[in-house]
Amino acid sequence: MNLSEKSDIAALKIAVIQDSRTINSALNAGADEKNLIIVLTAEDAIKMVDDGSVDAFAYGDYPGQKAIATYAKNPDKFSQQKEIGYFKDYFAFNPDTPEEFVTSVNDTLKELKMNRAESGSTDYEKIFLKYLPIGCMDSDITDERLVDLVQKTIENLKGDPSGTLTSINAGESPYVDSTDPNLYVFVFDTNVTLLANAVNPQTVGTHYSGKPDAVGNMFRDNLTELALKEGKGWITYVYSNPESLILYKKKSYVELCTDSDGVRYIVGSGRYLNCSEMKEEP
């Protein structure tokens, strides 16, 4: 099933839960309102997919995966086809809750999601990998935009290495996109030490050699070796998105840069794989 165009979605009969926010998401993604079949529960939706009454069902990622595992005749036959919406959920605190406690909760959650310095992956990634499959994410970021950003960064590094690294770690444009922060640049030295990261500068200075992603892939060592041997190339790995719940397959373009003093850098930028690309992955 290829759902790259809105017309592809319009042709499908899709089960949606009554009064759920996925109804508007499905419509915005191109679903035909006449083809939306309203049901009361996720169990009802999955049974309709199983018996062929509908082509698909629209539901939240984590509860959808749990429902498939619980109710589907053969869960392995189900796969995510397209991300049709994104919603932020929030913790609600009693109005009398001390501000210091709320701040502490937020800081702890951020630490769980962002700190990869110790082991190469976050505690958050390790926890959720136990319960959720690796997902896919549709976006407007193309391979060409990754290459352009890397090469623009290399050009600036050659002219002003120190200033460019400072600007990257400050999250300045063009090193992180102003409308989509998932498009950003990172820089390693040849010993796999992080020198700059436009969205997570807290881990700058970390030596990442021997520290894998959540599934054991030593991708930082691999991207460094690739750049040093081939000069440039592509690499895939597993990574979370701080604004989302699950882990994703990600690909990055990396290129070797040598400044005017002969110092070498590995410059990279990545994007999450979309659902059609995930199906092509081994």
**79: pLDDT strictly greater than 90:** no
**1: pLDDT strictly greater than 70:** no
Name 209's bridge partners. Answer: none
**280: pLDDT strictly greater than 70:** no
Give per-residue pLDDT as tens, 97-137: 999 999 999 888 888 888 888 889 988 888 888 877 788 88
- Yes or no: say if 182 and 141 are a contact pair by the CB < 8 Å rule: yes
Instruction: Average the pLDDT over 151-176 and give the result.
Output: 96
Give the torsion through C-alpha atoms of 124, 129, 130, 132, to 10 deg: 110
What is the pLDDT at residue 243? 74
What is the pLDDT at residue 253? 98
Compute CA distances 210 → 119, 177, 281, whole Å.
9, 30, 24
Q: Using CB atoms within 10 Å of the CB of residue 245, give its burial: 0 to 12 exposed, 13 to 18 middle, 19+ buried.
A: middle
- Yes or no: say if 42 and 30 are a contact pair by the CB < 8 Å rule: no
Give per-residue pLDDT as tens, 206-265: 999 999 999 999 999 999 999 999 999 999 999 988 777 678 899 999 999 999 889 999
What is the pLDDT at residue 282? 56
Kindly state the DSSP code that residue 203 receives in the 8-state scheme. G
**196: pLDDT strictly greater than 90:** yes
Highest mean pLDDT among 66-70, 85-89, 102-106, 150-154: 150-154
Kindly state the DSSP code that residue 118 receives in the 8-state scheme. T
